[in-house]
Structure 1
């Protein structure tokens, strides 16, 4: 059937959309979505019903359907489909049926115009076809060694646990693909083709892909390089983990950036520089990537709570590249998590000395100052606690001064938070509240308001120390509302554990366990080892260090 929508004619069988000056093909799965919406145009159809009908043989995320809806709107106009929040979609555009000519009429027209071809013309045509085929084979063989590398980006795995970055998987994939196309001569496979390849994976291949394997796409996409990315971190402080699968092996690494777009641009630049002069060879040239590879493996082990296994990988990375500051930071965190605090602080001080010597006074220097202060606040090592807190304050104050010089507002906010903790522990509640309110003001400037929860939790602890129960509950309620609104799983857990801590400090053990069990349920649903470990630490009454 063919329909006319405004100035376009849509063939719902072939998937061809024609206008006065163009002709476009609709992707197969998107065409099925279009037909399903048209067939049920009198109803609001639920997202899961569409997914079940179109992708009945595979498990897919909702973003796949969202992409198809976007494609339909891009082709036919934004007004053709109406979105009903939490309900689904409905086709709302009027349809005018277009009836094509009958088959017999078309055949008569074709027959009346068919020319008479003699045997000599047939032999001549056949000879030309053979000649063209030989030329084509020769060209392909001759140019085979100079073929352009084909690159495919998979949808970005979004591990930023909030509602602000739901756009990342598909829009991020598109941004990486288009960015590399503009930045290099590499042949980037279009995202529609990649998404279609995902749809065509068998259940076994889907299971392998979801477990981290990239090999299912080699045959499906005929790509020389498969790029898988995973976004973690928090607003203003992101990490883009990447894995590059080539015919010769797997390479991985991490890009750090204050913005998602910045992390994407850094990866695009790295891939363009790394592979734009790609020449197929059995000899690998990954020596320069060795330290980054070991670092990435070490971080992966760290995030899985495998601290002992992470240490040798991170140490290997440092042996290959002594100024890989992030590797030394993760190594320090690994030592901290195995209760070797003095070793952790020693490693962080080494980062400070190296950063100053090389004049690299950026975020890694800021992190080193803050982490030492954090460790001294949370893991008392000295008998003289007053002196230890004073040392922590001095490190954090250095971080704040440097952050102000660099105009790094995120780390100014972090510094105020830690100074607020120090002053609370010193019993100077007025100074603590002042620092924490300063932190709140900075966090309110950033995208995603859930960054405010840490300062609000600390303000609740200050109020609790001053025995102001109503103000304590007010701060906790604000923090919980912000975390819930943003669907920030980690922050929800921090708030619930803070409630549990405060209830326990008041000997309200039943309430404390109830809050902690809520946090435990959320952590288990998230399937995040860091969050699960944090809750388990509360029940064991032991601290756990996590990289922020």
Structure 2
């Protein structure tokens, strides 16, 4: 007895691990992807967790959740034009198309063809009323009435297909999750009045868009860090280099802008990159900021988000050329030069909160705690009165780090609590992950291992919203360190290897020396215990 499934007009054959198209053609599909497809279909609408998928399909290898995303993408491509999988953020996936299980004693004969036609008719049946109308038509002897009803039926079916396709397209736009990356704008205007556009337009677009429960908008300075990991220049980058952003980050939507035209007659060309393609367009305006706001509205419509276009004008902190240059110097580890530029930027623009934050961070790293604290106190006072609400929790984070490095734990906890509350309102998943990691480290150093584990797990959850491989691999190293402190060598090794797998798979070369050194330390501990 041969069992196969009919769903979304496709036939799934478990014995041969094949999928047949509505036309009867065998479609190419990887074995693991087919196994995942079968797992979802057999769950019949129930949500299947990512953990269960990994344990069931990839139990023989050490992989991360990225393999699931890739296979889900392959399945959706295979069933292009049909709404078959629904994503439940932080929970898993469910197969939502109708399913017919068919038993056939003749898997390759005419009997199967007859049964297939019958099952396909049932799967294609839009609703009982249409099915009844179809049978009533067969009983009619009057040809004119028959043709009239048949035409009516065809119009109904065509309308249903159109509505289905429209709904599918709308749902496809809404399933975007992970992180949204806005790249520095390319500026083809040669005059000095528009030098601010490279980072200023980028930051304006970022601030106009808001994060959601499933999608995080990365802030400008973190985007520059991601570009560095991807080996990507700040200007004149290629499409292949943009593709590398997907590899090293959790990006699901990347925006590239290019300003052309002439003064008061601007053309802002945009490219929206997804892993399965690119969409291009342009907006025209006599004001650059207004053109950027138009692009923000287009993105918001695609993501089903509401842009924060509630100000008549917008002044970006990154419009300051000295700050923009300092940001690049920080990524090149040229601390002294970056410090000088930021000090100059603040001297000319004292209320530039981003410049204040970046300089404070450099001062903390240089252990100039008093100087950093004075700067942070002034900046936080200004931030409480500013409309740039995203800067306040970030300033508090550096204030907490500054206190923590001086051993002032009580101050640190209070400030982190404030920063967490403010970041939660903004749904700033990266900042929330950083806060949880710092709290985890504080518990770890106090040997409060249970509390440390809770904070690390919380940080991991936030990184998973962004689908950030760098953040996840870093937290796995923290968890491995925790396991070793608890003398669980097996767990320490397993967790470190999970981190190493992500690092290798996603080409996170900056983390490789750290994980290699840590694995060597674990091996040394094991060798010591054995002897």
- Relative to the length of structure 2, the TM-score reads 0.43
